[in-house]
Structure 1
Amino acid sequence: LESFLEFVRKQIDIEEKVTFTKGTNFASVEKCLTALHESRSKGRPGKYTTAALQIRTQERSRCLLCQKFHDISVCTQFLASDVDERWRIAKRLGLCHSCLKKGHRKIECGVARKTATGEISIHDLLNRKDAGDKKIDDKPEENITKVCLKMNVDRKDGSSSYSNGSLQIARAVICAENGIKRTVNCILDSGAQRSFVKREVVESLGLNGPKEHITISGFNQRNEHRKLMRVELRLKGVDNDNFCVINALCVSHLCGKVPPNPPMEEHEHLKDLKLADQFPRGEVEIDLLIGIDHYYDIVLNEIKRVDTSKPTAVKTIFGWVVCGKNISQNRTHLLHCKVNEECKCECDIIKKFWELEALGTELRNEFEVNDVLERFKNEVRFDGERYVVKLPWKSPEVQVPNNYELAERRLQQLEKRLSNNNERAKEYDEVIKNYMDRGWIEETDESDGIPGKTWYLPHHAVYRDDKTTTRCRIVFDASAKYQGTSLNDFLEPGPPLQNQILDILIRFRRFKIGVQADISKMFLQIRLDPEDKDVSRFLWRNMKDGKKPRIFRFNRVTFGLNCAPFLAMAVLHHHAELNQAEYEEAAENVKRNMYVDDIVLSCEKEEDAIRRIKELRKLMEIGGFDLTKWSSNIPTIMNELPSEKIEEHKQVTTLGMSWNCKNDELSYNISMELDEEELTTVLCEIEAKINARPLTFVGDDVKDADALTPFHFLIGRSFVDLPMMSTPTVEEDELPLNRKWRKRQQIILHFWKRWRNEYVTTFVSRSKWMTKRQEPKEGDIVLVKEDNTKRENWPIGRITSVLPGSDGLSRTVEVKTAKGIFTRPVARLYLLEPANTR
């Protein structure tokens, strides 16, 4: 009996909260009631789970902390607290630490993300590392410095003046139906889409109206979603009876005070006009903002203007409004400024935004960055000719699987492609021989590999027909997966050491003379430690199918490794620091004006440019780096360079842009993926996908044409499409027509995947039957949930029979799908289309 009374008490408490709380999340209530019924059906009278007794009763859009209509993540009071206080608030209010919502825990959160270590992430506002950027002051006026400036500008003629602008201000009378009248200051703003009125004015007049959800957009692209009351206002002029009815949204505050009005006696063209505002007057507050929705209900088609230096008069139903430029003679003005001390936070946000990641590497936390960099500094060495580095392994005890099988299979695929083009096969073999002749690679034996440190790199070619020298470039794939892992998975990418390309571009064209050079084969100029050579093996057999592949390994850093950009830049910075005493200017230039393998100079005089070129060449030669492809907008400064080191073309590529040295113009070349006809074809295919979307289900058999689509209205039948390739890979060595067709198929397939996964599944709001009034009915179209199946692949079915329980509630139904008739619980069904809506 005691347990039963306790249950009744809690049940009454829940019912009261549901009854008297506005905006209750009824889905949560229904879920709780279902949990109660399920608990009762399990034969445990009087005992209920914790989930069955929890309920959300707060308003959906009301802040749990200050009870205002916004989310707690944008609450001023919450943001004003430090991180420790936010944690206390979150615990006190029972908030989820991942989404700051009430009603569930972090491990049950549906929007929680997982970190790299597999842990569930916490909300940014609770993160002690990132919280500094989020904090704002609860009392903005306390954090604002008010500055009063005395402005007295002297003109050339000796007089003193100050140029100011007058806004379109008018005085009007609001007449309420209850007989109350109030004079208000209005501002006419054609830049606002809606009209707004202060809540204090509305309350004083006793007005009321419906609520409306809107998004208010301000400066810096800041959007605020709010629910505002819309009221109808009857306006008339102060000195006339011209009436106008407008609709306005109620807000607590419109804007700051409007500056004082100057006298109008000095403006002859404004005399004898009935002005809608007082001249002169002091500072006033704006009570009503009239936007473009009612702007032309107020403004008439008459304007008085002399010239641009004089104010303009615009006729309105309230009288003449004076606006525009206003020159006041011999008058001292006080300009009140507000200097926000928190602008530093916005600067930090902008700075963080421009911290671009270099070459695909991710920003690491400070501990990992220092650890990788410190390990590099301790391990790098100079052997008298070149620098020798070790690969930055994530763990010293790493065990890499031997992927010889994968490399051999990829080699066979490569040979099959090259067999169709003997010229390209010959070029490929010549590149391998060139690597051998230069000592970049060496041949080895399969048995020489270190166990746990042997990996074979698959490779393929990229051909550039626009290149005059090296048309074939071999790409080594360190991201190829074998047994679920790749070589790059075992390596630290390292911190990004690249300079910001925008900063380099600005410094590059700072002075008259610009110079650019390229480090020839930069990655291959750095030697690899013997311990790490066997993880950069690859196979090749000169297109001889019956011969066993020869095994090669790299002696130098390979570009395909994710750590290669870090190692190259780290070596260059290390080399510059070691030789900075002797080559100070050149070393500083390497550290500041280098991007990947491009280095640029900016000089004011020709002699300075010649001197800096010589110094830079000497510095790079010491480290074993060769600077080639020199170019400049002043050709005479390169006369002392060897001819083979000079770029002959006047249009060169530098810092990812095209530089016309002759005209000294930087431009960006945009490659067109599709021509006009191909784009039209792609758009027509996309249109067909969109017109094949389901509008409603027809027929009684789910095996039949299951949905009515726009095509049934356009062409009288459903759309039949030809099957597409699952993976239309674009190969470099294909014929031009084949490549174009595959590229088009690739774009269409990409659209179809996103359309199916992101949009089609949102056509109909899926919901579960949670209460008696929402019981499933025969004929309902449902989505049947299946475990281990993606949501977009869940089968669609029709309910053929409802199986009610002993308490009258239907928890099980029979569903007919394309595969047959099955009995399924209601909890695993999602309603797509009720039977009574078709």
Structure 2
Amino acid sequence: MNAEIQVGPIRCKIRVGLDSFAAHSYVRKNIVEQVGIPVLESIPMEVHGLGGTVSKGKADVVQFDLVSNDGANSSIKVNAVVKADKICSPLPPIDLGSEELACLYKYDLPSESPGSEVIADVLLGADYCWRVQKPRGGIFVLEVHAGHYPGAEIWFNGTLNPGLDALDHMMEKFWTLESVGIMDKGLVHTEEDQLALDLFEKSLKRCDDGHYEVGLPFKKDRVRLENNYIQAKRLLESTEKRFDKCPELKIQYCKAMKEYEENGYAREVSRAEIEDLKNEEVFFIPHHGVARTGSVSTALRVVFNASSPDRNGVSLNDLLLPGPPLQNDIVAKIMIQELWILGVSWDEVIEGEIAQAFIKWCEEIPLLSEIKIPRIGSTIEKQGIQLVGFGDASESAYGAVIYAVIANHTRNSRVTFMIAKTRVAPIKFKSIARLELLAAHLLCRLMKYVSDALESRVVTRT
């Protein structure tokens, strides 16, 4: 059928095929590049073909609007897997008589159909093909020569169903015992994670004032960002109007922005610069203030929103690599492990002690912003340091922490936090002594990681 792909203001005419036996929908890569559709995510995927053939790999997923070509401009939003070459073989021509063709003239069909081959640009699988038919939705029955054919749309809440292998991959990644600082040398990152790490190492530099700068980890083959100065300015004006109703928050906001300027994190852009940058690829990060009524030290927090889209619906965050996970949340993992042990289903209402613990954890999350950990600064460059580590375990978890002790010329010592890692205890219960051995092993690997990073500046390790 004839249709159009639309992303922002850009439209492209395409040929669409329907396949109710395909688990996912697909789009040709040349169409994605022609329209400039940004990649939504990359997922592990396996495709089962005829005869039981299976192909595995990573697949890019894009999102676009599929618009009807009948003048009604009705549309649905589609998430589709990108195919590098062709989705399927060209559909062969159909030899129809004049009477059969006459009944088709009232419809908007491709000009070369059905007398010549047709290449499908988009293939709608079971997740969308029934949504473009009338009536849409629900369970229905098609009357065919062999009897009646029941049908229903298969919908995955707006996302592709990556299959059991992908689910196993996500669970393995969530529960893995390896992380930054205690990672096996042989553990391989995904291609995107490794690219993010490489970009980080290549662009990291130390400034004269002791601060560090690093470049943005852009994805490969990214689309161009549109200059969003007008949108960012409108959001700023909206924020200023809101502060007119609350002068105290406006004072706090201006104070926070002034600190950004004084510390060299930001600067005001002149009108001349704005004019010079009109045709350049520039993204102004919109910012707004969030009141923190429960905070004693800071009544307002400035939020920079890099997820704000440009006029084409693309944001800065859409183009950046997330990189490998660098942190974990031991409390959340312990709760999930307890639910797993109790055999709680995904749709069950959680009650009792676990529910109370979760509510308490949610209430305490805002307190994390009150924690201040001083940086070592440039003192390491001039003086050696002593690394002191501790490891411990309980029935629920085990962990390790490393501190740095720095002595100055007056022989006064300064102690500062360096790094810490925690791990959930195995589901199969082990003795506290065994868990303490795991904590000791974790500490040794963490100590080696920090020592290698600091190179010759470490004097002793305890």
**Which is greater in Rg?**
1
TM-score by length of 1: 0.22
Higher normalized contact order (CA 8 Å, seq sep 6+, divided by chain length):
2
TM-score by length of 2: 0.37
